[in-house]
Chain A
Amino acid sequence: MQQRISRSERSFKIFAITLVSAFSLLAFFPVIYAFSASISGKFAYDAGQVVLLPKDATFEVYKLIYADKGLWISFTNTLFYTIFGTAWSLFISITGAYALGKRRLLFRRTFNFLVVFTMWFSAGMVPLFLNYTDLGVDNRWGIIFGFGVQAFNVILLRSFFAAIPHEIEEAARIDGANEFQMLFNIFVPMSKAAIATVALFYATSRWNGYFWARMLLAEPTELPLQVYMRILIENYRMVFDDMPPDLPYSPDSYIFAVLICSIIPVLIIYPYISRYFAKGVNLGGVKE
Chain B
Amino acid sequence: MASLPNIKQQKSEQQESEKNQFLIVVKTLLKDYRLYLLLLPMVLWYALMFYRPLAGLLISFKNFQPNLGAMGSDFVGFANFESLIDGAFSPQFWRSFRNTFVISLYGLIFGFPIPIILAIFFSEIVNNFVRGFTQTLSYLPHFLSEVTITGLVLTMLRNSEASTGILSGFLLNLGLIEEGTKIVQNADYFRPMFIITGIWKEAGYSSIVFFAAIMAISPVLYEAIKVDGGNKLQELRYVTFPGMAPTLIIMIVLRIGRMLSVGFERVILLYNANTYETADVLSTFVLRIGLEGGNQAMGAAAGMFDSLIGFGLVVGANFISRQISDSSLW
Contact = CB atoms under 8 A, between A and B. Distances in A.
Contacts of B321: none
B138 A23 contact: yes
A4 B73 CA distance: 78
The size bracket of the interface on B is: 35 or more
B234 to A, nearest CB: 10
Contacts of B130: 17, 21
A229 B147 CA distance: 7
A124 interface: yes
B145 A207 contact: yes
Nearest to A260: B148
A20 B311 contact: no
Given A24-B138, A125-B299, A208-B146, A130 B56 contact: yes
Interface stretch (A54-62, A63-71, A165-173, A279-287): A279-287
Contact of B118 (A20, A37, A100): A20
A276 interface: no
A39 interface: no
Nearest to B327: A286
Given A30-B156, A46-B163, A149 B45 contact: yes
A105 B36 CA distance: 8
A270 B166 contact: no
A130 B296 contact: yes
B153 to A, nearest CB: 8
A102, A127, A178 — which one has the most chain B CB atoms within 10 A of its CB?
A: A127
B247 A286 contact: yes
Which secondary structure dominates chain B's binding surface?
helix
B46 A115 contact: yes
Given A25-B137, A130-B296, A179-B35, A33 B166 contact: yes
A163 interface: no
A118 B163 contact: no
B129 interface: no
Given A28-B137, A126-B303, A240-B162, A148 B35 contact: no
A33, A145, A227, A233 — which one has the most chain B CB atoms within 10 A of its CB?
A: A233
Contacts of B51: 114
B306 interface: yes
A263 B144 contact: yes
Interface in B139-185: 139-141, 143-148, 151-152, 154-156, 158, 162-166, 169
A156 B73 CA distance: 42
B28, B34, B46, B135 — which one has the most chain A CB atoms within 10 A of its CB?
A: B46
B109 interface: no
B233 to A, nearest CB: 8
Nearest to B58: A127
Interface in A232-279: 233, 240, 250-252, 255-256, 259, 262-263, 266-267, 270-271, 274, 278
B269 interface: yes
B41 A286 contact: no
A121 B311 contact: yes
A135 B29 CA distance: 30
A278 B208 contact: yes
A249 to B, nearest CB: 11
Interface string B67-83: 00010000000000000
Interface string A176-212: 0011100100000000000000000000100111110
Interface stretch (B7-15, B88-96, B282-290): B282-290
B169 A48 contact: yes
Contacts of A96: 38-39, 41-43
A131 B48 CA distance: 8
Contact of B151 (A45, A134, A259): A259
Contacts of B108: none
Interface string A98-110: 1110101110000
A208 B34 CA distance: 35
B39 A252 contact: no
A149 B42 contact: yes
8 contacts: A6-B232, A99-B35, A126-B59, A179-B38, A208-B145, A208-B148, A255-B155, A262-B145
Given A24-B204, A262-B144, 11 more contacts: A9-B231, A13-B124, A20-B121, A122-B50, A204-B143, A226-B145, A233-B147, A252-B165, A256-B152, A285-B209, A286-B212
